[in-house]
Amino acid sequence: AQSVTQLGSHVSVSEGALVLLRCNYSSSVPPYLFWYVQYPNQGLQLLLKYTSAATLVKGINGFEAEFKKSETSFHLTKPSAHMSDAAEYFCAVSETGGFKTIFGAGTRLFVKA
Amino acid sequence: DTAVSQTPKYLVTQMGNDKSIKCEQNLGHDTMYWYKQDSKKFLKIMFSYNNKELIINETVPNRFSPKSPDKAHLNLHINSLELGDSAVYFCASSQGQVGTDTQYFGPGTRLTVL
């Protein structure tokens, strides 16, 4: 069965600093991996998605994530944080042919001025 | 145009009552979902329908009953509401029925049971 673990329920960075949100997954077959973002009082929206086409995936708003099979990781990064990046970020995994997407517990990103 | 919409946005009710949440998507997607997000932001799937057919039914109390009158609508009816039902409920949709498809979420319905 697949699962996903997000390390750190809260991450705080200064504006302009590197953002690194960690995600590790477990899957018995090649996975599809997602990062979703949830702004306050809103639904989730897709940031980026790994579908095995390329290990480095670029998403919206300057975010990117790298799939590392050897480390079973899919960490999310952004070179320079902006105040508007403050939100809850969810890593998710699903298996090829499966029906379900399993979400991690979420990481709350705080951006300090 | 709102892609996935839910009504109501807020719902406050007493224990024991019955309530419904409605969801509509105008994306032409075949699959719709209901998720529950608890106070710690943990998101858990409850149900999934593909072309009006139930394909995922997680271990959810029988008091929760989804209904899909057509593939653009998925409503959630909850009987005999309990304090533990308080949460934010999200509707979502995707093109296909596999978990590898991107899901599009509604704005959520915050249910408070007193």
pLDDT digits (tens, 9 = 90+) for A34-66: 999 999 888 999 999 998 778 899 999 999 999
How far apart are alpha carbons B25 and B92 in whole angstroms?
A: 8
- Between CA B19 and CA B86 the distance in angstroms is 12
Q: What is the pLDDT of residues A1-43, one digit of tens each?
A: 788 999 999 999 999 999 999 999 998 777 899 999 999 888 9
pLDDT at B6: 96
CA distance A113 to B5: 34
Can you give the three-state secondary structure of B73-92, one letter per residue? EEEEEECCCCHHHCEEEEEE
Count, residues in chain A: 113
> In the block, which residue shows the tokens 């892609």?
B3
Q: Give the position of tokens 């509401």.
A: B81
pLDDT at position A2, please? 80
Rounded to the nearest 10°, the torsion over CA A53, A59, A62, A68 is -50
pLDDT at residue number A30: 78
- Spell out the alpha helix ranges (H) of chain B: none
Q: Is B98 on the interface with A (CB under 8 A)?
A: yes
Q: Is B108 on the interface with A (CB under 8 A)?
A: yes
Q: Would an 8 Å CB–CB cutoff place B95 in contact with chain A?
A: no
DSSP states of A30-82 as a string? PEEEEEEEE-TTS-EEEEEEE-SS-SEEE-GGG-EEEEETTTTEEEEEESS--
Q: Is the dihedral of CA A74, A30, B28, B35 positive or negative?
A: negative
Helix (H, G, I), strand (E, B) or coil at A85: helix
With an 8 Å Cβ cutoff, are B100 and A105 in contact?
no
How far apart CA B63 and CA B84 sit, in angstroms, is 12
Query: pLDDT above 90 covers what percent of chain B?
Result: 71
Distance CA A4, CA A113 (A): 31
Tens of pLDDT along A79-96?
A: 999 999 999 999 999 876
Residue B107, pLDDT > 90, answer yes
Q: What is the pLDDT of residues B45-59, one digit of tens each?
A: 999 888 888 888 887
**Whether the Cβ atoms of residue A37 and residue A44 lie closer than 8 Å to each other:** yes
Phi, psi of A84 (to 5 degrees): -70, -5
- pLDDT at B83 (0 to 100): 96
Q: Residue B92 and residue A43: Cβ atoms within 8 Å?
A: yes
Q: How many whole angstroms separate alpha carbon A51 and alpha carbon A93? A: 11
Q: Which of A37, A101, A102 to mutate to test the interface with B (most CBs of B within 10 A)?
A: A101
What is the length of chain B? 114
User: How confident is the model over B21-47, as pLDDT tens digits?
Assistant: 999 999 999 999 999 999 888 899 999
pLDDT higher than 70, residue B1: no
The sign of the torsion formed by the CA atoms of B97, B105, B38, B15 equals: negative
Closest-CA distance, A34 to chain B, in angstroms, reads 8
Q: What pLDDT was estimated at residue B52?
A: 83
Please name every residue paired with A45 in a beta bridge, in sequence order, or none if there are none.
A37
| Option in B56, B92, B102 nearest A100 (CB) | B56
